[in-house]
Amino acid sequence: MDTNFLDRRSFLLLSATGAAGCLYAAFRFARSGPRSLAALSAQAGPFGMGDAAAKAGLVPARLADGSYEISADAVEVGQSAVLAAGGIPLLLIRGEKSARIFNATCTHLGCLVRWDAASQRFLCPCHGGTYDADGKVISGPPPAALLEHKTETAGGKIRFTVA
Ligand code: FES
């Protein structure tokens, strides 16, 4: 029996196992941030999104033309809320007379960002990416701005599209 062959095979097996472990750890790290609306709402903490999301009326109605609509009263001025429309996680930022809606998906590796009202920034918990109030990248690894969805506020309603 060739003992060198067995040693080499054992070495290769251990190396492959170690490499698989490292890949799994890297995968877990890369996907460590929130990836669902439920997770985003649950960790809202000081950002207040969980409270806002829990309020009634935050489920947008889909209109015949494919746009979405929610009551402007559902979110207080200065607050943010987590929404979902068309399967897309969204963050609504309510201003005095209008609202802005952004896709909450970080442009780096897809974690869900959250709105920090105190600093007026979007923060990504995964790798520290930050975006300004217009969704433009301030720092960190995100390669592009957050996508903002067209929004109109009139008659006590906030109407938006996700296309
Ligand atoms: S996923 Fe990496 S900074 Fe957001």
Across 9-30, average pLDDT? 53
pLDDT number for residue 86: 86
Task: Decide whether any atom of ligand 1 lies within 6 Å of the 108 Cβ.
Answer: yes
CA distance from start to end of the chain: 66
Task: Decide whether any atom of ligand 1 lies within 6 Å of the 146 Cβ.
Answer: no
Residues of 37-47 as b/e, b for ≥16 C-beta within 10 angstroms? Answer: beebbeebeeb
For residues 9 and 27, give the distance between their C-alpha atoms in angstroms, rounded to a whole number. Answer: 27
pLDDT number for residue 124: 97
Instruction: Say yes or no to pLDDT of 7 above 90.
Output: no
CA 113 / ligand 1 centre spacing (Å): 8
The DSSP bridge pattern shows strands 148-149 and 151-154 to be unpaired
pLDDT in tens, 45-99: 333 344 444 444 578 999 999 999 999 988 888 889 998 898 899 999 998 888 9
In the numeric block, the tokens 């997770």 are attached to 39
User: Residue 43 — very low, low, confident or very high, per pLDDT cuts 50/70/90?
Assistant: very low
Element (DSSP H or E) covering residue 13:
helix 3-30
Element (DSSP H or E) covering residue 18:
helix 3-30
CA 150 / ligand 1 centre spacing (Å): 24
Ligand 1 pocket test: which of 27, 121, 124, 147 has the largest number of ligand atoms within 8 Å of its C-beta?
A: 124
Question: Model-level pTM?
Answer: 0.70
CA separation, residue 25 to residues 11, 13, 83, 139 (Å): 21, 18, 31, 25
